[in-house]
Homo-oligomer: A and B are copies of this chain.
């Protein structure tokens, strides 16, 4: 399953594309951080990030779309821009008929590191290990987007559907590797 994950933002919008096998192994296909200058008019910023998202959806043709869920309670100045970008991204995903997953930051962190309060550095470290990357994705928005995509695939995957952890030998092997990576 190919998942395109988005860490929405107006200044930096992370987009990660991963291919995840039924045994939960994940391969990084593409990662990119879309940016728009803070001194530009809002509609032009939304246009430039929106065009980037459309380009990546059309280029990588994912089977599923995942994005971080935003809440009004996150009362920071950037939250409106985050919501506006997420609106554009969700609209484009739905226009393409993609199944959509909304995941909270805690769910994403728990999926890749094992605990929901992990910091950005821990998420980046685990993403780097789980995907066997030679160097850490930068900036943090890139790693977050990949983590969202991986989280989505794992929460949808057969291991989860079975309801009781990894079932096949390959799934068990992956779960062990994952556990070992987390201990490192």
User: Which residues of A line the B interface, CB within 8 A?
Assistant: 41-44, 46-47, 50, 70-73, 75-77, 79-80, 83-88, 90-91, 93-95, 100, 102
Contact = CB atoms under 8 A, between A and B. Distances in A.
Please give the count of copies of this chain that the complex contains.
2
Given A42-B90, A70-B80, 13 more contacts: A41-B100, A43-B91, A44-B94, A46-B91, A50-B95, A72-B76, A72-B79, A73-B75, A75-B75, A83-B87, A84-B87, A84-B90, A88-B88
Contacts of A100: 41-43
A163 B79 CA distance: 35
Chain A binding site: helix, strand, loop or mixed by DSSP?
helix
A117 B76 CA distance: 26
Contacts of A79: 72, 83
Nearest to A49: B91
Contacts of A70: 80
Contacts of A86: 84, 87
Contacts of A77: 72
Contacts of A42: 90, 100, 102
Contacts of A75: 72-73, 75
A28 to B, nearest CB: 25
Contact of A84 (B47, B71, B83): B83
Contacts of A72: 72, 75-77, 79-80
A26 B37 CA distance: 36
Most-contacted residue by chain B among A42, A70, A71, A91 (CB, 10 A): A91
